[in-house]
Structure 1
Amino acid sequence: GRAVAEARKTWDGPKPISIVGSTGSIGTQTLDIVAENPDKFRVVALAAGSNVTLLADQVKTFRPKLVAVRNESLVEELKDALADMEDKPEIIPGEQGIIEVARHPDAVTVVTGIVGCAGLKPTVAAIEAGKDIALANKETLIAGGPFVLPLAHKHKVKILPADSEHSAIFQCIQGLPEGALRRIILTASGGAFKDLPVEKLKEVKVADALKHP
């Protein structure tokens, strides 16, 4: 791995960001916002899993300095897709590439939209590099919360919720005085029991619930 650069908290012009999981739902929506606000944001690094076609389009549009593709067998395909670019980005394959995107020295904020526990390592790497985190990866806090939150406090970084429900709650409680909130009721839009009749819910077992991610 590379030496971790000093955290960058000041910048000129649009805020520099990295996106981990750029071809997924969160990543593509983030890039839509960047495209609509070029005066506010610029992309310095992108990481994706295996959707090389979309990733190549994103690279051509947003021109990051660094690109990672988790599936190492697709690196040559990505290079071929970017062959006509004049200023080609550096490409790092595999998990190490994802981590390098997360801690890119130019990034101030890292959007982590990668699915599952695979998002834990890059999020930790970003925190240790002093990056603020826009977190859409729930597993990072569910599986690693007792470790991740103290780490964020130690490195003085912010963890901001980027997923829809969490962000909605976050926005609702802005400005409330301490102690003003008693409880939060979070409804679900899907899940394992979405279409189950209400009278059947009392028969649900823990194992049934755990089948759903």
Structure 2
Amino acid sequence: MHSASAPRRVAVFGATGSIGASALDVIARHPDRYRATVLAAGSQVQALLALCVAHRPLHAVIADEACYGELRDGLRAAGLDTQAHAGAAALDQLAASDACDTLVAAIVGAAGLSSTLAAADAGKRILLANKESLVLAGELLTRRASAAGAEIIPIDSEHSAIFQCLRSRDASLDQAGVRRILLTASGGPFRGRGRAELAGVTPAQAVAHPKWSMGPKISVDSATLMNKGLEVIEAHHLFNIPGERIEVLVHPQSLVHSLVEFVDGSTLAQMGLPDMRTTLAVGLGWPDRIESGVGGLDLLAQGRLDFEAPDTEAFPCLALAWQAMAAGGTAPAILNAANEIAVSAFLQGRIAFLAIPRLVANALSTLPAASADTLEGLLAADQRARQITQAAIDHA
């Protein structure tokens, strides 16, 4: 599918977001090796058009079908040959097509799942930034990727770190010899605060993350530690590691991105400055190492590295994620959907910060976990969890 001489054809889904910007930055540094052939965005037509002018892709997709005319006319006005597309079906079609051999899957939320599955079925290399694909449908996605010979390389910093540590042994991600995985967490903006101190937290405070610049939804998930809970579920699926061998370690400096402990007593850690371009360069270049634009880590300048246990009493979302992972089936999908609705309500000022875990717990206890064999079943559980959570908010 990919010859050494021709540049890799990369589709960037979620091109107007921060991960899309980082991916395009790395791609632009290696014009001989990579070409951004497909750019996709949700509804930000003008931002997508600006990227098309800069990167001249073959295809541009806007998920919001109402924006199709504006995209088509804008491409024409800019004198570009880029073909305009709109809607979810176009995303799926292009993800599976010859237009790309590599997909940067960075669409936020369950909206990113269908195109990721399409790329998996087509045997693509998937640089996965979309948590929901693995949380909602981890069993399904990994099974289908494996059947089609697709390669999933995670590009969030923690899973990229684990991937790099595991691949230090041999070419496979076989888990023989692994004692446990240690996922690091920054602790978010409220690290060290007790439960009582979190009652009055505002959306603005929750979105002000100390280390990473992220979208509002992911920033709130980081503040509740749900983000880390979702990552535990992801690690379980990505690396085929049982949940009891995955632990979370709070590391406020965010320089050690995760660690893998082996049965011989050695622990490997992957370190680096907090910049997504490193993990994207790993995903694009693997097994080669390529220039990412990120500088090295000056440990003398950084000084000390601290580690502590997470406080699951103040941040119950982490414990809820373990619970959903243990239940299996549709439980992680229910957890994820309820959380999306709760976080959205919190950002709109409709509920308090501490109501987020309460609403998620309510959805998990109301809906029993069912089998996760089909996408339809998973999406049905997702919808029901959303309805239950929305109803609980409306009647509060």
Which of the five TM-score ranges fits, normalised by the shorter chain? 0.7 to 0.9
- After superposition, residues 127-206 of structure 1 pair within 5 angstroms as 127-176=120-169, 179-189=176-186, 194-195=190-191, 197-198=193-194, 201=311, 202=313, 205=316, 206=320
| Structure with max Cα Rg | 2
- What TM-score, normalized to structure 2? 0.47
RMSD, matched Cα: 2.4
In structure 2, the partner of 1:209 is: 357
Q: Give yes or no for the alignment of 1:37 onto 2:30.
A: yes
In structure 2, the partner of 1:5 is: none
In structure 1, the partner of 2:300 is: none
Instruction: Supply the AA of the counterpart residue of 1:125.
Output: A
Select between 88-97 and 28-37 the one with higher mean Cα deviation: 88-97
1:10 counterpart SS class: coil
Structure 1 gap ranges (5+): 1-7
Q: How many residues align?
A: 204
In structure 2, the partner of 1:61 is: 54
* CA deviations over 1:28-54 (Å, ceiling 9, x no partner): 110000111111100111111011122
Change (3 A) 1:11 1:183: same
In structure 2, the partner of 1:27 is: 20
Query: What is the alpha-carbon distance in structure 1 between the residues aligned to residue 104 and residue 162 of structure 2?
Result: 18
Select between 200-209 and 62-71 the one with higher mean Cα deviation: 200-209
1:183 counterpart SS class: strand
* CA deviations over 1:96-124 (Å, ceiling 9, x no partner): 12212312313111110011111110001
Query: What is the alpha-carbon distance in structure 1 between the residues aligned to residue 356 and residue 160 of structure 2?
Result: 28
- After TM superposition, what 4+ stretches of structure 1 lie above 4 angstroms from structure 2? 198-201, 203-208
Change (3 A) 1:210 1:183: farther
Change (3 A) 1:210 1:15: farther
Query: What is the alpha-carbon distance in structure 2 between the residues aligned to residue 172 and residue 131 of structure 1?
Result: 23
Change (3 A) 1:102 1:199: same
Which structure ranks higher in relative contact order (CA pairs < 8 Å, sequence separation ≥ 6)?
1
Find the partner of 2:119 among 119, 122, 126: 126
Query: What is the alpha-carbon distance in structure 2 between the residues aligned to residue 203 and residue 76 of structure 1?
Result: 48
